[in-house]
Amino acid sequence: MGNEIVVRAQSLPMQNTEDVFRLAEAFARAHVLGAQTQAEGLLALKVVQEVGLCAANERYNIMMGNLSKKAHAICSDFLRAGGRYRIVRRDPECSELVASFGDTKMTFRFTWE
């Protein structure tokens, strides 16, 4: 057997530390959640263990070594908690939305500047 990884069980096959780092490297090579290094692959592995591959891929990215929740997942959680939002602008120069929760209303604006 060469560098390929074969998973035949319902859970990830990790018997020892060597298996953990081998899977972390495989996750990085496959860019799971955007991982690019073995350390990021290890982070992706832990997230996948906690929430499952499909849920992790739907809700998270790894960017510059940090776990980041995707924007649509943040908005979904906000709506579920009782908030409301309206996208005002979304183009290459700017993203802007107005969010409200109860009596509180805020505008969030992100630009390249």
* Interval 54-100: pLDDT, tens: 999 999 999 999 999 998 999 999 999 999 999 999 999 999 999 99
List the domain range (segments joined by +) for residue 105.
Answer: 82-111
User: Do 93 and 51 share a structural domain?
Assistant: no
User: Do 53 and 97 share a structural domain?
Assistant: no
Residue 107 lies in a domain: yes
**Burial of residue 41 (number of CB atoms within 10 Å: 0-12, 13-18, 19+):** buried
Residue 25 lies in a domain: yes
User: Do 96 and 54 share a structural domain?
Assistant: no
For residues 32 and 101, what is the distance between their CA atoms, to the nearest angstrom?
34
Residue 58 lies in a domain: yes
pLDDT grade for 112, boundaries at 50, 70 and 90: confident
Residue 10 lies in a domain: no
User: Do 31 and 61 share a structural domain?
Assistant: yes
User: With the C-alpha atoms ordered 34, 38, 40, 44, is the resulting torsion angle positive or negative?
Assistant: positive
